[in-house]
Chains A and B, each alone.
Chain A
Amino acid sequence: MLDRGWRLFAIMVNYLVYGLGSLLLWYVVYPCTAWRVPPERREVYARFLSRGAFRFFIRFTAFMGMWRYHIEGAERLEKPGRVIIANHPSFLDVVLLFALTENAVCIVKPVLARVPLVREPIRRCGHVVADEAEEVLRKSVRVIREGASLILFPQGTRTPAGVRVRFHRSAARIALEAGVPMVPVYFRYQPSLLGKGEQWYNVPSTRPRVQVLVGEEILPDNAGGEPLSLSSRKLTRRLEAWFEVLEYDHGSVGR
């Protein structure tokens, strides 16, 4: 009970640190330093700052006792120009991926581009706003070719564990068009934390343990130049299967 009260307090502190940290980073640190960076390198610079801030944040929140995390295969997220796909059980998946991925660009929901505190990093880091499909595809391929790694949640929104894995095909399509490997990342929260419909003040009874499993690269295969509409369907099924296996392995254990 005492532990739970502490974690409720910790979560409030974490939110405060997140908010103030964002303000400090994007309205003070970035404007005061970015002028020294040539304009064409500024997005990469913003992503570098953002990664540093998220790294600090995950360590700080773990230190505060909000959660414990264990990462396997982190080095696979250091390579340039990958399409990174992950399941999305919690709000914190984004935080972890931004902390772990080098030169990360994310595809974000259009509503986020209007949220005051998030709008600024989206603009500075050049994250891709998911509005018009063709445009998103074009922009995504471009940032990957420039060396960024693109983070996508192909379930489209936060989805609890144990639900059948169904992906939008855009992730596969982007990887096929860009001709780059995909890196799958599986998140598992025990118990769940900040999932869809869960309020921040609903603190779980035990401290959540998060496992992050970064899988081996999956190479998109466009055999014999078949239409990408077909290859992306096949590739999406492969990706869904990769996540399904882990959901089966882990889904019921220890719940």
Chain B
Amino acid sequence: MKIQFKSNAFVIALSAVILGLIAGGIFMALIGSNPFEGFLYLFKGGLMNIERVGNTIATAITLMLVGLSVSFAFKTGLFNIGASGQMLVGGLCATLIAHHLFIPRPLYLIVLILAAIVGGAVWGVIPGLLKAKFNVHEVVATIMMNWIAYWSIFYFVPAFLKGPSLETESKSILFEQSLRVKWLNELFGGSEYVNLGIFVAIAAIIIIKFILDKTTLGFELKAVGANRFCAEYAGIKVNRNVIISMMIAGALAGLAGMTFYTGYSRNMQIGVMPSMGFDGIAVALLGASNPIGVFFSALFFGMLQSGKGFMNAMTDIPPEIADTIIATIIYFTATSVLFKRLWDWVAKKMSDIVAQKGGK
């Protein structure tokens, strides 16, 4: 009997995570802290009690939706680096609704969600159109859209949504108008950040999985991603799919903006490019662009992000270690060919050993 060992996407992603954590440990040790202690507090800070689990979930909600956005575009062979800008615009639309629309809550929530979807989708569909009609690379176009959103909000918020005290952030949304609800906060032991976005995120994951796996649209999108020339030859309208893909990706990022700005923070700060837009790339890469994978990797990164404050309070390690670990994981995912070679080499050795033993 011959046993074949082969590397797969999961093993490679796992190697990247482990190496990222090791790199984080090295950076902790370099500054004279104990890495084991650091990681203990980092994980404790994310999972120590039900309240902290709630905060971790609250952070993960946004990451889930951004990760879903990036991975949806990946499926069509597009790289949506513009999730930050789409988050800002979707979040702005939702914030405007939250400040100005007072109608019964169920109806209100539907309008809120639709506003965020429209805002994000508009910001996503522009690069999609430019790609389809003029062959402008979506990476450059989405970066430009990010900064257009950043500066527009930089001047829009102080002009129209100025808070009472600070110039740099909008006024807070009323609790009743935000995504937060009492029973959910009480369920998670008083965690004040956890919000209704969790249901939006889970619904989005189920819907996107359904679209990708069970519909003609999903099949066409994946076909374009796999080989656009082949898809074109098979009669699939490539440009139409590129536009739809960017539109849906933008809508998902817009929803992420809604969960962050009307659920997690309840106001908008200006002069801040939301880093979740880039963390979402890590979520998508680690989740192998699979909606279920995105769910779990968002929880993992959410834990790192929400535990860093506690770790910083208990040790001398600066909270930026979490972002360092995430960035390192992305770098190692980009260079995953290294692990693929390594694991294939290990697998070959193992197969040889097994074959020798079997031959004896």
Is the pairing of A and B real? no
A contact set with B: CB distance below 8 Å: none
